[in-house]
Amino acid sequence: MSEAAPYEVLFVDRFQNYPDPLPTPNDINGSEVLLHESTGCRLVRIQARFVIKFGIYVRPIEAHNMLHVAKSTTVPIPKVYAIYQRQKGERVITYIVMEYMPGTTLLNLWDSLDQTRKTAIARTLRTYFDQLRKLKHPGYFGNIDGGPPLDDMFLETRGAHEVKKSFATEDELIDCIIRIYLLDTGERMDHKTQYYQHVLPTVLRGDGSPVFTHNDFQRKNIMVQPDGTPVIIDWEFASWYPTYWEYSTATYANGGWNDDWHDYVRMVLDEYPNQSLWLSSMKLEMWS
């Protein structure tokens, strides 16, 4: 039998009694049930009670976001049991061991739900986001470890490498967004950049305080359990953002606007249509 590959334990929940040992990276052998797969990330069900999310694009901070929410709120989310990392050549693979929660995504359920059921789910989700908004902020806009916000704008753009830390004020955040826009669009949008430098400090305004934000509020990230309880999953982009950010990313992610989802987004979240339109326009210009 080959020797088990080494891995590092970053976190393990030591306050629970388990009938069986927690699974580790060495327990993954290909016989697991594949629940989801994307570039650099796999989600598998293992030992009936657990799921493991792992890959080169999985980061420990996703699990730490979940631990923070679990500690500070009653929002239903999968329980985090362990975080591991393993070196594979020059790449690092992160493994997050979580509770398996049965259910179906709200995206898959949506067309089968009537207005009454949709409204009930939206109102329940509203109570979850109200709790997130009440969390005590750290005095900056960024991730929970003090680094930059976990958004594609600050991670996957040409100017992302320049963003090394959190932002002390909304003005700093706006200046960075404009700088990233300039680096991503170059000379072709030079005059538009100048226009954004003029207007964005006025229109991209929250109340000045950071709020804890899931930052990927889509139906695919809401799991409805067999008893009807909605559960929020995929916390990889959560950070401290301006008050308008959640609504802006949710409306941008709505894509084709081909059904009534937007009617329920505004039940769940406070509306910030002006900020949403400005940010969506910038993203389309950068990424289209």
pLDDT in tens, the chain (288 residues): 446 789 999 999 987 667 678 999 999 998 899 999 999 999 999 988 999 999 999 999 999 999 999 999 999 999 999 999 999 889 999 999 999 999 999 999 999 999 999 999 999 999 999 999 999 999 999 999 999 999 999 988 888 888 889 999 999 999 999 999 999 898 888 999 999 999 999 999 888 899 999 999 999 999 999 999 999 999 999 999 999 999 999 999 988 889 999 999 999 999 999 999 999 999 999 887
Q: For position 155, what pLDDT does the model report?
A: 86
3-state secondary structure of 152: helix
Q: Which of 239, 177, 165 is CA-nearest to residue 205?
A: 177
Q: For position 3, what pLDDT does the model report?
A: 63
Q: For position 111, what pLDDT does the model report?
A: 96
Stretch(es) of the chain classified as CATH 3.90.1200.10: 102-288
Which residues are bridge partners to 96 per DSSP? 53, 83
CB 107 within 8 A of CB 255: no
Stretch(es) of the chain classified as CATH 3.30.200.20: 8-99
Fold classification of 102-288 (topology level): Aminoglycoside 3'-phosphotransferase; Chain: A, domain 2 (3.90.1200)
- Counting other chains too, the contacts that 7-11 makes at CB distance below 8 Å and 24 or more residues apart are 7/84, 7/85, 7/86, 7/95, 8/84, 8/85, 8/86, 9/82, 9/83, 9/84, 10/60, 10/83, 10/84, 10/85, 11/60, 11/63, 11/64, 11/67, 11/80, 11/82, 11/83
Q: For position 1, what pLDDT does the model report?
A: 41
Whole-prediction pTM: 0.93
Q: Which residues contact 209 (CB under 8 A, 6 or more apart)?
A: 137, 243
Q: Which residues contact 142 (CB under 8 A, 6 or more apart)?
A: 148, 149, 165, 166, 167, 239, 240
Q: Which residues contact 36 (CB under 8 A, 6 or more apart)?
A: 42, 43
Q: Which residues contact 224 (CB under 8 A, 6 or more apart)?
A: 103, 104, 105, 106, 109, 121, 230, 231
Question: What is the gyration radius of the CA atoms in the chain, in angstroms?
Answer: 20
pLDDT tens track for 193-236: 999 999 999 999 888 899 999 999 999 999 999 999 999 999 99
**CATH number of this structure's domain 8-99, picked from the four choices 3.30.565.10, 3.30.70.1900, 3.40.50.300, 3.30.200.20:** 3.30.200.20
Pairing of strands 239-241, 211-213: antiparallel
Which residues are bridge partners to 45 per DSSP? 33, 51
Q: For position 156, what pLDDT does the model report?
A: 82
